[in-house]
Amino acid sequence: MKIAYTNCNIYTGKTIETGKAILTGNSIISGLNDINDLPAGYTVKDLGGLNIAPAFIDLQIYGGNGQLFSAELSIAAIEATYQYCLAGGCSRFMLTMATNTIEKFLRGIEIVRQYWQQDGKGVLGLHMEGPYLNRVKRGAHLAACIKKPTVAEVAMLLDKGRGVLKMMTIAPEVCDDEIIRMLIDHDIIVSAGHSNATFQEAVRGFDLGIPTATHLFNAMSPFQSREPGLVGAIYHHQSVKSSVVADGVHVDFVSLEISKKIMGERLFFITDAVAGTAEGEYRHVFKGDRFTLPDGTLSGSALTMMKSVQNAIAHAGIPIEEALRMASAYPAQLLNNTVPLGKIEPGFAAEFVVFNDALEVIDVIIA
């Protein structure tokens, strides 16, 4: 069905357009035309003066709407997470599992595969955060399951996870160069995190091709005068991106503002959102604006992607058009999708978030 979306302020990911219509067909954006130059054959959808932008992309989320995927390991938990994402303006997400047994990771891979076989929507793939992390920076992760990778184990994961395993957070200093190259050669998005790397160790990992880092500042060696650490390497290495959790808890908003000035387009949002659970290895307790383990260790956020955008604008001085890019265009640059995401221009996926001037999500359109 051909649809023209009209009467809206369009945040394309590059510019802000008014007086134009977004033309879509076969789930793809086919044009961005002047409102007085609509081709025949399109059904017109009037958006009533609202705002529209590319739908958001969350590369790290563990659950939603009361269901933590690693605890449930069910299609229902994935669907609950998808609905949570949609409520926050997000159409695509990387379902995430924290450090666990290899057997549980393999079970998670199979559940995602089953979800897709049942025509499940939204999931880009599985993000394994661990188990190849540094115990010194494990945060809320299970110490007993953290390990150094072997070529044989990684090869097995890549084989069993073919088509599903898409992203992995590792500590570069605990992984041999051969492991990092192996992951990159198999199109895994490798992210440096839960790491106590020195500046030089981190730069070596980035030079090997690691393209991004996981939740800037959290569970990583800090920037210091005599040892810049992983944070310093991220700042310094001009090709490396990093996610950030913009809730004012994981990262102070002033630190977000400073980091944005240093990193520019290399910084993007994730929610790092979990769901409360009293069962399983990860028992997340809701504390009003965050989740913690029962001992008080910070273990996840209560963010949505739109809340990240709101916070960046209100508390870190980031303009709305840039905050929207941090939730869509910039994470999309890490993906290798057949149909590109994250911008409103011809050839991109027709997936949009519609919101009012108070930055409240009105609808997510997946044409």
Number of H helices, E strands in the chain: 11, 20
Residues paired with 242 in a beta bridge: 213, 267
Report the alpha-carbon distance of residue 302 to residue 276 in Å, rounded: 10
User: Is there a single domain that holds both residue 13 and residue 114?
Assistant: no
Q: What is the pTM of this model?
A: 0.98
Residue 337, domain member (yes or no): no
CA torsion angle for 334, 121, 155, 152 (degrees, to 10)?
A: 120
CA–CA–CA angle 238, 239, 241 (5° rounding): 100
User: Is there a single domain that holds both residue 33 and residue 155?
Assistant: no
Per-residue pLDDT of the chain (367 residues; tens, 9 = 90+): 999 999 999 999 999 999 999 999 999 999 999 999 999 999 999 999 999 999 999 999 999 999 999 999 999 999 999 999 999 999 999 999 999 999 999 999 999 999 999 999 999 999 999 999 999 999 999 999 999 999 999 999 999 999 999 999 999 999 999 999 999 999 999 999 999 999 999 999 999 999 999 999 999 999 999 999 999 999 999 999 999 999 999 999 999 999 999 999 999 999 999 999 988 899 999 999 999 999 999 999 999 999 999 999 999 999 999 999 999 999 999 998 889 999 999 999 999 999 999 999 999 999 8
Q: Is the peptide bond before 131 cis (omega within 30 degrees of 0)?
A: yes
Place of tokens 């959102």: 273
Report the alpha-carbon distance of residue 182 to residue 185 in Å, rounded: 5
User: Is there a single domain that holds both residue 39 and residue 135?
Assistant: no
Q: Kindly report the CATH number assigned to the domain that includes residue 25.
A: 2.30.40.10
Residue 242, domain member (yes or no): yes
User: Is there a single domain that holds both residue 149 and residue 84?
Assistant: yes
Domain count, the chain: 2
User: Is there a single domain that holds both residue 106 and residue 232?
Assistant: yes
Show which residues are catalytic: 272
C-alpha pair distances (Å), 16 with each of 49, 74, 114, 342: 14, 40, 40, 14
Spell out the residues 6+ positions from residue 75 whose beta carbon is closer than 8 angstroms to its own: 111, 114, 115, 118, 120
The domain of 150 spans 56-332
User: Is there a single domain that holds both residue 209 and residue 84?
Assistant: yes
Residue 201, domain member (yes or no): yes
- Count of all residues that appear for the chain in the document: 367
Residue 339, domain member (yes or no): no
Q: Kindly report the CATH number assigned to the domain that includes residue 317.
A: 3.20.20.140
User: Is there a single domain that holds both residue 296 and residue 362?
Assistant: no
Task: Check: CB of residue 263 under 8 Å from CB of residue 231.
Answer: no
Report the alpha-carbon distance of residue 323 to residue 98 in Å, rounded: 27
User: Is there a single domain that holds both residue 318 and residue 198?
Assistant: yes
pLDDT at position 5:
98
User: Is there a single domain that holds both residue 315 and residue 275?
Assistant: yes
User: Is there a single domain that holds both residue 8 and residue 117?
Assistant: no
Residue 212 structure tokens:
């991004």
User: Is there a single domain that holds both residue 43 and residue 85?
Assistant: no
Other beta carbons less than 10 A from residue 36's beta carbon:
8
- Range list of H helices, the chain: 69-72, 75-87, 102-117, 151-160, 177-185, 199-208, 229-236, 253-263, 305-316, 320-327, 329-332
pLDDT at position 207:
98
Report the alpha-carbon distance of residue 175 to residue 340 in Å, rounded: 31
Residue 84 has phi, psi (to 5 degrees) of -60, -45
User: Is there a single domain that holds both residue 156 and residue 259?
Assistant: yes
pLDDT at position 54:
98
Report the alpha-carbon distance of residue 361 to residue 256 in Å, rounded: 23
